[in-house]
Amino acid sequence: MADEALFLLLHNEMVSGVYKSAEQGEVENGRCITKLENMGFRVGQGLIERFTKDTARFKDELDIMKFICKDFWTTVFKKQIDNLRTNHQGIYVLQDNKFRLLTQMSAGKQYLEHASKYLAFTCGLIRGGLSNLGIKSIVTAEVSSMPACKFQLSREVDNWISHSDIFWTISS
């Protein structure tokens, strides 16, 4: 319980610190969102390294997504993703009906515009984790009513990296 509270406080301070230290032009150009997403990307890479060191290899992309929705999400946010959908063509939608980083905010419509600040880190977290698992992706978040959130993951075409591809590149 204490580690969850610390994570929530750290995340809120991170968002606040990035926005307070930014100049007006950086906020308008979206550089603060980019900074937060890049922080999340690096953290996601590190967490996936730790979480997968003792796991068996994943069979396919869907297996990786299930790992993200169950094990990764549970470790970071203390609950599984509520819903995973895919079109089986590289697009996945992860839905969390009570996203921990948004539960502290009021459910009023006036706070929807501020939600993107609090989702950028998590988008980077997912993208970084997938990157270390060999999937280059674009992650976006959408909030229609607080604290529910949808993360859309779009795999970039032809970026699935298998271990044999890496070996072939190094060997040749």
Residue 84 has pLDDT above 90, yes or no: yes
pLDDT for 72 equals 94
Higher-scoring residue by pLDDT: 133, 104:
133
> At the fourth CATH level, which superfamily is domain 4-155?
Trafficking protein particle complex subunit 3 (3.30.1380.20)
39-81 pLDDT, tens digit per residue, is 999 999 999 999 998 888 888 999 999 999 999 999 999 999 9
E strands of the chain, at which residues? 83-86, 91-96, 137-142, 149-155
3-class secondary-structure state, position 79: coil
Residues 15, 121: Cα–Cα separation, whole Å: 9
pLDDT for the residue 170: 42
Output 9 or 164, whichever has higher pLDDT: 9
d(CA 61, CA 63): 5
d(CA 151, CA 97): 11
Span 147-160, pLDDT tens digits:
899 999 998 765 44
pTM above the 0.95 mark? no
Regarding beta strands 91-96 and 137-142, do their DSSP bridges make them parallel or antiparallel, or are they unpaired?
Answer: unpaired
Give pLDDT tens digits for 18-38: 888 877 666 666 788 889 999
Instruction: Give the alpha-carbon dihedral of 96, 40, 37, 131, to 10 degrees.
Output: -90
